[in-house]
Chains A and B, each alone.
Chain A
């Protein structure tokens, strides 16, 4: 039985803030941040946007591309995020209610730092593959926060991507050929309950965490598939900044041509659970039939989910049924100053 994505959707908020704007407030050296992180700006959610709202719109876009999948036939909804609007009360139920998927549906919210989105995709895919449900929706999105003045403030961004998985041969836009998850306890980044901002192990987040985990996951997936980097048309890695995904890709043997379509972070920032999923939506927006795609996420803590996909004929036919990723990233942007940014991100203490 073939199982794959039958509809994909992206949602990126309109507002942006430039690295220079943040650096000026904290007296940091903007050019060196931009060069060091390969990051120019990031997306900023509006006061009325959160993981739920972005996920609803991303999922609507996925439905629009699904060729008429009836929401009531979606048997599972998973929303992966590090910034679920409620500490207790699922995001997935609001999304499912808004889309008319309730009530005969399995819903769960997922957390695993930046890979909660691909977890949702992994579960959705697996459930369809097991024959348990006809369609399943996996969503990754975040309105991530960085501590003021910390390196993460330059990259913590907002966005969401949604994928409907199914096994209808005439609906599949990308077959999932193989998956592999590689996970260990590697405490590179964490946030304790009641704390506002996460903490990280600085350079420990690099080689022992991001690189080791991503590479092991990608290699295992490629081994399973019997493929080498040169056999792929596109590769998407977790993109916490502009540098890491390119470095890990090249370390594994991929070229810039293979990496650049899914590489959004210099202009988007790190959308955490949406990061590699949005890289995938950007690829699906333009990939030719038969293209082979590797997606390797990374979530601090740490783990990585890899997918090997093959794009079908159908992708081209439906890609314009909903807004594509890159236009949402590059067009109609509204730049904000740090004061507005701080207000929107709840960093200003309001009256009780």
Chain B
């Protein structure tokens, strides 16, 4: 069963794209973390990711894991934002699965990422829509 507590704890980064900028070197981490991977600093300020980015690399998962059967074929991309942050996101509303090449611009939209069966919680987040 997907944990409602865990889902709730992650609303900041998932629902609102909240990230953290290192106070010492400015590197942005998404999601926020305890230690800056660049300079090992421990102080951060809150920032929000922009809702536009570009595809770095992608694939189309044709044998989806449990809970995603109804979303097959499932295109997933590593998306990079202007501030250098990269994150993995499902691609949705892609007209042509062959055209998710590096450099393709995407915008982020609020979507259902998955549901814990018919009776469990619904997990929401953002997905990438090719512009």
Direct A–B touching, Cβ under 8 Å: yes
Which residue of chain A is the closest to B4 with respect to CB atoms?
A89
Name B69's closest neighbour in chain A (CB-CB): A350
CB-based nearest A residue for B93: A14
- CB pair B122 A48 closer than 8 Å: no
Is residue B98 within 8 Å, beta carbon to beta carbon, of the partner chain?
no
B112 near A50 with CB under 8 A, answer yes
* Bound complex: CA A86 to CA B112 (Å): 13
Interface centre among A47, A52, A346 (most CB of B within 10 A): A47
Q: How far is the CB of A90 from chain B (nearest CB, A)?
A: 12
Q: A97-B15, A334-B93 are in contact. Are A343 and B110 (CB under 8 A)?
A: no
Give the total of A residues in contact with B, Cβ under 8 Å. Answer: 22
Contact with B along A73-89 (1 / 0, CB 8 A): 00000000000011000
* A350 x B70 contact (CB < 8 A): yes
Please determine whether B112 and A53 come into contact, CB atoms closer than 8 angstroms.
Answer: yes
Within the assembled complex, what's the spacing in Å between the Cα atoms of A217 and B71? Answer: 43
| A 205-221 contacts with B by CB, 8 A | none
> Given that A48-B71, A48-B113, A97-B11 are known contacts, is A53 also in contact with B93, CB under 8 Å in the complex?
no
Please, what's the 1-or-0 string for A36-54, where 1 marks a CB less than 8 Å from any CB in chain B?
0000000000111110110
Chain B 79-90 near chain A by CB (<8 Å), digits 1 or 0: 000000000001
Give every chain A residue within 8 A of B71 (Cβ-Cβ). 47-48
Asked if B15 contacts A98 (CB within 8 A), the reply is: yes
Q: State whether A98 and B93 are in contact (beta carbons under 8 Å apart), knowing that A47-B70, A48-B71 are contacts in the complex.
A: no
- A343: chain B residues within 8 A (beta carbon): 70
User: Are A57 and B16 also in contact (CB < 8 A) when A46-B93, A343-B70, A350-B69 are?
Assistant: no
> Which residues in window 96-131 of B have CB below 8 A to A?
109-113, 122, 124, 127
A57 touches B109 (CB 8 A): yes
Q: Is B95 an interface residue (CB 8 A)?
A: yes
When the two chains form the complex, which single residue of A49, A94, A350 contacts B111, counting CB atoms closer than 8 Å? A49
The chain A residue sitting closest to B17, CB to CB, is: A98
The answer to whether the Cβ of A56 comes within 8 Å of any Cβ in the partner chain is: yes
CB distance from B61 to the nearest CB of A (A): 14
B58 at interface (Cβ–Cβ under 8 A)? no
Which residues of chain A come closer than 8 Å to B29, judged between CB atoms?
none
A53 in contact with B69 given A48-B127, A98-B15 (CB within 8 Å): no
By beta carbon, the residue of chain B nearest A94 is: B124
* Residue A100 at the chain B interface, CB threshold 8 Å: yes
Give the shortest distance, in Å, between B85 (CB) and chain A (any CB): 19
A48–B127 Cα distance when bound, in Å, is 9
A14 to B131, CA, bound (A): 13
| A85 interface neighbour in B70, B90, B122, Cβ under 8 Å | B122
Contact code string A324-352 (vs B, CB < 8 Å = 1, else 0): 00000000001000000001001000110
Instruction: Give every chain B residue within 8 A of A334 (Cβ-Cβ).
Output: 93, 95
Return chain A residues, CB-CB under 8 Å to B93: 14, 46, 334
B71 to chain A: closest residue by CB: A47
Cα distance A47–B70 when bound, in Å?
7
Please give, as numbers and ranges, the residues of chain A lying within 8 Å of B113 by CB-CB distance: 48
Q: Report Cα–Cα, A52/B113, bound state, in Å.
A: 12
Q: In the complex, which residues of chain A have a beta carbon less than 8 angstroms from the beta carbon of B90?
A: 48
Whether B92 pairs with A48 at a CB distance below 8 angstroms is yes
Residues of A within 8 A of B16 (CB): 97-98, 100
Q: Are B110 and A98 in contact (CB under 8 A)?
A: yes
The chain B residue with its CB closest to the CB of A95 is B110
Extra contacts besides A47-B70, A94-B15, A94-B124 (5): CB < 8 Å? A46-B93, A48-B112, A53-B110, A53-B112, A85-B122
The list of the 4 closest CB pairs from A to B, nearest first, reads A48-B111, A56-B110, A98-B15, A48-B112
Q: Would you mind naming 5 contact pairs between A and B with Cβ atoms under 8 Å apart?
A: A48-B112, A53-B111, A86-B122, A98-B124, A350-B69
Interface residues of B (CB under 8 A from A): 11, 15-16, 69-71, 90, 92-93, 95, 109-113, 122, 124, 127
